[in-house]
Amino acid sequence: MAVLVALWFLLTTLTGTIGGGRFPSPGEFWASLLQISGKGYAGATLLSHAWHSTTLVVMGFLVAIGTGVPLGLWMGWSRRAEALMNPIFLFIRPIPPLAWIPLAILWLGLGDAAKIMVIWFAAFVPSVINAFTGVRTIDRPVLEAAAMLGTPRWRLVQEVILPAALPMIFTGLRLSLQAAWTTLVAAELVGALVGVGFVLNVAQQDIYPGMILVGMVTVGVLGWATTWLLGHAERRALAWNVAAGA
């Protein structure tokens, strides 16, 4: 990391190999960071931009897993549900989440609702697929053992199917979270009034490399932090698992 910063300093400030106006020097980056943290940029301080984006991601993500995971579990459990939902799913799935952005803006405008909608669509698909696969790959003897013990239906879902599918579900959640961030940044770049993507958008129009880099670093840090939190939740939830517990 230190080497990287030194190299950055060397290329931009000392030798000028990378010309100004193309990539910021550490000094410019720092100045931009101070500017947006203090008096703000693109209408708000960095903290409120970041907070706004994170809230949207978390909300869209929660809506997506709240709908996607149960649907995936249901499709995994019932062949009928699978046959019913699969064609619709096959139809929707190849459409990249970002392609929903124009439609979302058309329907819901530039505000938060449109963002939540596209995040929902983006994070929904991995949730469904992984919950579905999680159920389908449960070892048959485990299900037979539950049946042999006379486990009633609701308890079966709660105590056998859900925990058995949980490792796969978490794999899906990680993909969902990643998709949520990508989509949000794209949606904010296309049209927004506040948020990290909006900062990037304004900085691009102002041709302000220092601020562009601040925006990118913020996206990276936020993505990293939310992924870390999810990983933490996963380790706690899967303490029984050999792979995760080790």
Partner 1 sequence: MGSIRFDKVDKVFGPKTGGMKVLEGIDLVIGEKEFVAIVGPSGCGKTTCLRMVAGFEAPSAGSVSVNGREITSPGPDRAVVFQQFALFPWKTVRENIDLGLRNKRLPRSERSDRIAGALKLMNLESHAEAFPHQLSGGMQQRVAIARAYVLDPEVLLMDEPFGALDAQTRVVMQEELVRLARRNPRTVLFITHAVEEAVYLADRVAIMTRRPGRIKEVLDVKPVRLAENWDRLARIEDVMDLESFVHLRTQIWRSLREEKGPHGV
Partner 2 sequence: MNGARLTIGQGVAWSFLGIALFLGLWTSLSVSGLVPRQFLPTPMETAARFLSLFTSPFAGATLPVHLASSFRRYAYGVLLAAAIGVPLGLLMGWFRLLDDIVSPIFDGLRFIAPIAWVPFAALWFGTGIGGPVMIIFAGAFPPCLINAYRGARFVEPRFIEAARMLGTSDLRMIREILLPSAVPSIIAGLRVAAGLGWQSLVGAELIVAAAGVGFMMVQAQASVQTTTVMSGMIAIGLVGMLIDVLLRQGEAWLRRRRGLEA
Q: How far is the CB of 156 from partner 2 (least distance, A)?
A: 10
Shorter beta-carbon distance to partner 2: residue 190 or 237: 190
Q: Which entry of partner 2, partner 1, none binds 149, CB below 5 to 8 A by partner kind?
A: partner 1
Q: Within positions 174 to 193, which residues make up the interface with partner 2, using CB under 8 A? A: 178, 181-182, 185-186, 189-190
Q: Which entry of partner 2, partner 1, none binds 79, CB below 5 to 8 A by partner kind?
A: partner 2
- Contact flag: residue 142 with partner 1 (CB under 8 A): yes
Q: Which entry of partner 2, partner 1, none binds 103, CB below 5 to 8 A by partner kind?
A: partner 2
Site string for partner 2, 2-41 (x = CB under 8 A): --x-----------------xx------------------
- One-character DSSP codes across the chain: -HHHHHHHHIIIIIS--S-TTTS--HHHHHHHHHHHHHT-BTTB-HHHHHHHHHHHHHHHHHHHHHHHHHHHHHHHH-HHHHHHHHHHHHHHTTS-GGGGHHHHHHHHTTSHHHHHHHHHHHHHHHHHHHHHHHHHTS-HHHHHHHHHTT--HHHHIIIIIHHHHHHHHHHHHHHHHHHHHHHHHHHHHHS-SSSHHHHHHHHHHTT-HHHHHHHHHHHHHHHHHHHHHHHHHHHHHTTT-HHHH-
Q: Which entry of partner 1, partner 2, none binds 95, CB below 5 to 8 A by partner kind?
A: partner 2
Q: Which entry of partner 2, partner 1, none binds 19, CB below 5 to 8 A by partner kind?
A: none
- Contact flag: residue 151 with partner 1 (CB under 8 A): yes
**Which residues contact partner 1 (rule: CB under 8 A)?**
139, 141-142, 144-152, 155, 159-160, 163-164, 166, 239-242, 245
